[in-house]
Amino acid sequence: MEKYRKETKRIYEINAESYECKTKHYLKDYLIGDAKLFADNLSGGNILDIGCGPGRDMIFFDGMGLNVYGIDISNSMCRLSRSKGLRVVLGDLENLPFREGHFNGVWAYTSLLHMPKDNFSIALDNIAGILGDNGIFYIGMKEGNFEGWKEGKTIKGEKRFYSLYKDGEMRNLLSRNFKILHFKGVDLGEDKYLNYLCRKN
């Protein structure tokens, strides 16, 4: 396993509870409208949360009556999700263990930003592959022009691997597999997020 994956896994293993505490209100505060829009555009109820963490977003979608699965690289994150009665697979986000066309929607909020830019298009191909016809994809990434190791705000004292993108760069990458239906930027001062609701081409 490459260093960036090992470090991502290690850091989330030992910081799962503190990460959950620091981010537990994020969906409600910043993404609730987009989460509803994602659900409203689905053609069926099977969805996957990639990098589901402690299950924050899964709980919301489960409460809407959707058939929600999650995948995360961290055992600790999977344990926290399962403690809430959620269905989670321990797995690598770059090698999704799901059959082609299985999901109506994929939600990936700030999980794919931990992979190198050279791997990003392949990851998008894999996501498009597990989506069925008219599949919906929601992705959130941090804005910037950077690739490498840096300390984030939610986990202090630990450097994680990040790939940050400009809006035009993201739109170009997404256009290969998806049509963008909706965009929302979230400005938290030091960190700015680029969020896209897409439909599979």
Task: Please state whether beta strands 87-90 and 146-151 pair in parallel, antiparallel, or not at all (unpaired).
Answer: unpaired
User: Which CATH number belongs to the domain containing residue 8 in this structure?
Assistant: 3.40.50.150
Residue range(s) defining the domain that contains residue 44? 3-200
pTM of this structure: 0.96
Residues 6+ apart with CB under 8 A from 122: 94
Tokens 């709980």 sit at which residue?
Answer: 59
> 143: which 2 tokens?
């804005």
- pLDDT, position 123: 97
CB atoms within 10 A of CB 148: 11
CB atoms within 10 A of CB 25: 10
H helices within 15-140, ranges in order? Answer: 16-23, 26, 32-40, 56-63, 75-82, 117-130
DSSP state of 66: -
Position 80 scores a pLDDT of 98
Looking at residue 36, the DSSP 8-state letter turns out to be H
Sequential pLDDT tens for the chain (201 residues): 699 999 999 999 999 999 999 999 999 999 999 999 999 999 999 999 999 999 999 999 999 999 999 999 999 999 999 999 999 999 998 999 999 999 999 999 999 999 999 999 999 999 999 999 999 999 999 999 999 999 887 888 889 999 999 999 999 999 999 999 999 999 998 899 999 999 999
Whole-number pLDDT of residue 157? 82
- Domains held by the chain: number: 1
φ, ψ (nearest 5 deg) of residue 131: -90, 140
